[in-house]
Structure 1
């Protein structure tokens, strides 16, 4: 009996020491991905601090900086990391370098985790990408446009990737419906000629697909030519609209809407970012996360940065689960040999099975390796609160607006206040007539009737101003306003 207990104890000790004390993971980052590198480092620190995911091991972040266009250098750095004995590679963001990194990881059977936009319809055997697939995001755009009841719209896109993002929206618009226009921004930073063409077409519904860095300038130039009025609506496809300074567009009445994968106002996100900021201050470095972009001082954490943080946690949780089912050894690999990591495929499969809550919500994958069952917030710009959540979207239920009728009514009333409207009508008793007077009357005082009284009483309730013009006056003055 004692011998059996002794053998069981030996087995438990051997299993308990399955993972090495130090587990190295490699991160490949471009110079512009500095905040992703920060998220990578502090995710490692967090895993090491809480001790409940990998209680007997510590992660070690091995960070390499590479050029986004130098695939040869990227390949060399991957081989270097593999030679140090890493258990996974994270990044890079450039599609050009990522494809070479992925090829090496597939050959060596090393898990490769990405957080970038990727249009491909299949995933390599050793790849896990936390970024939602474009086809799923495109379905969200379709559902929102249908919920709004847009019959026509103009798509403004920056590059061919934009057309891929919007392909479902293009396909959903049938040949019997009003035509939609598709316009490319081009390389020039002067977008006004293009925007003027759209303005002259009288189209007021715009789908804007461009890099987050260009959104402000496009909207600013649209404002300069009069395309940011109450009558214009913009659907922005970027998931990072919350990181754009929209202060100067809040009061124009333009409907600016977008989706987001993360809510920067959530306490867990605010606390996480504060930990990064304080951590950088300990090393004498400053980390600007865009808190000054809004009055609530909330972070402008970008989606891909949050996904990198989540990716490290996903890897760690999957490694912990795998460790409970089999003994794992992590070894050095050489790109010059045919040797592979025997646990790579198992770890990848566990990452696709594990479900967890991260900064970007529920992290779960379907059988093809695409992220599934995630929820997007629908956000809209208003004059008081800036970007505000007005609804949600998911792949099963579609669009669900969460704002109440009272919220909508209040927004409409606020948009009317202090505005001046031009009213034109045909003179017809008893609705609108010229007053009989011995004095010369001007403006609204010239008119009387049921319609005139009704407009006046409504204006007192809603707080708008109005000027009535006869049909002849309206035509003569060629007033370029909606009536």
Structure 2
């Protein structure tokens, strides 16, 4: 996680002065409903709203939509409706196919789109999408350094692999650590996974990083330094873009590069 998350205090004056309610949209696939990515997103919003010193006069609210994993048309319509209904930005964790659909939608409406996944936007020169997923080699290196610092020699690993190999188990275990890996395909399997590790008397557990938690915090930092975050009169039917989306997108880039 980002160290010292209370630096989100930067957004107090800007957001609170502009709107008592700041709405963001989120899109997840049906098969990931209730999974770790969605829980990380909800927890980030919860933490921001709980710390009333950060947003004394504003509340961050979300609109979550679920879509079939390969239905690009329905995904486009649902996400577009979110922006049209007042969401100032969109976050997602839907994979490359639907991710590219959301990229095109966000570019058309000038709506900032944050995603986390091991894939890149198709057109980096015309996009409002920012992918916060770190390169695979850096992610593996970070895990290795973290485990070395903690001096864990025996541990369990719970991971969700949707075909992208987010957590490279073999690279992490190549130094001879005693490691038990459990794959959980959805949220319902986590209890089973924990029970398996408990049966092996595993005391230390490693899970995949909650990158969407960081995405929400970065978005809020960007909103803090944006002069106007009102969504304006956005139209999906006429492809009428947001008047302030470009400013928010530029500020997200500024914050995420720090």
Asked if the contact 2:15–2:58 (Cα under 8 Å) also holds between the matched residues in 1, the reply is no
Asked if the contact 1:20–1:330 (Cα under 8 Å) also holds between the matched residues in 2, the reply is no
Asked if the contact 1:53–1:320 (Cα under 8 Å) also holds between the matched residues in 2, the reply is no
Give per-residue Cα distances to partners, 1:38-72, cap 9 Å, x unaligned: 21112111111113443321111111110110001
User: Aligned partners of 1:121, 1:77: CA distance in 2, in Å?
Assistant: 21
User: Aligned partners of 2:103, 2:71: CA distance in 1, in Å?
Assistant: 15
1:125 is matched with which residue: 127, 130, 146?
127
Name 1:30's counterpart in structure 2: 29
**Where in structure 2 are the equivalents of 1:113-192 lying within 5 Å?**
113-119=114-120, 123=124, 124-133=126-135, 137=138
Name 1:301's counterpart in structure 2: 207
Name 1:241's counterpart in structure 2: 169
Question: Shift in Å at residue 214 of structure 1?
Answer: 9.8
Does residue 336 in structure 1 map to residue 237 in structure 2?
yes
Aligned CA distance change for structure 1 residues 327 and 78 (closer, same or farther; 3 Å)? closer
User: Aligned partners of 1:365, 1:29: CA distance in 2, in Å?
Assistant: 25
**Where in structure 2 are the equivalents of 1:203-282 lying within 5 Å?**
213=161, 238-239=166-167, 241=169, 255=176
**Where in structure 2 are the equivalents of 1:256-405 lying within 5 Å?**
288=191, 291-292=194-195, 293=197, 295=201, 297-303=203-209, 306-322=210-226, 326-354=227-255, 364-365=256-257
**Where in structure 2 are the equivalents of 1:8-19 lying within 5 Å?**
18-19=17-18
Question: Shift in Å at residue 365 of structure 1?
Answer: 2.4
Asked if the contact 1:29–1:37 (Cα under 8 Å) also holds between the matched residues in 2, the reply is yes
Name 1:191's counterpart in structure 2: none
**Where in structure 2 are the equivalents of 1:9-88 lying within 5 Å?**
18-33=17-32, 34-35=34-35, 36-88=37-89
Question: Shift in Å at residue 314 of structure 1?
Answer: 0.8
Stretches of structure 1 that go unaligned for 5 or more consecutive residues are 1-14, 141-210, 216-236, 247-252, 259-284, 355-363, 367-483
User: Aligned partners of 1:214, 1:139: CA distance in 2, in Å?
Assistant: 17
Question: Shift in Å at residue 21 of structure 1?
Answer: 1.1
Q: How many pairs align?
A: 215
Aligned CA distance change for structure 1 residues 16 and 309 (closer, same or farther; 3 Å)? closer
Question: Shift in Å at residue 256 of structure 1?
Answer: 6.2
Q: Secondary structure at the match of 1:87?
A: coil
Aligned CA distance change for structure 1 residues 120 and 332 (closer, same or farther; 3 Å)? closer
Question: Shift in Å at residue 353 of structure 1?
Answer: 1.7
User: Aligned partners of 1:335, 1:106: CA distance in 2, in Å?
Assistant: 12
* TM-score w.r.t. length of structure 1: 0.39
Aligned CA distance change for structure 1 residues 298 and 53 (closer, same or farther; 3 Å)? farther
User: Aligned partners of 1:16, 1:256: CA distance in 2, in Å?
Assistant: 47
Asked if the contact 2:232–2:243 (Cα under 8 Å) also holds between the matched residues in 1, the reply is no
Larger RCO, structures 1/2 (Cα 8 Å, 6+ apart): 2
Give per-residue Cα distances to partners, 1:427-461, cap 9 Å, x unaligned: xxxxxxxxxxxxxxxxxxxxxxxxxxxxxxxxxxx
User: Aligned partners of 1:289, 1:56: CA distance in 2, in Å?
Assistant: 42
Question: Shift in Å at residue 289 of structure 1?
Answer: 9.7
* TM-score w.r.t. length of structure 2: 0.68
Question: Shift in Å at residue 344 of structure 1?
Answer: 1.2
Aligned CA distance change for structure 1 residues 107 and 63 (closer, same or farther; 3 Å)? same
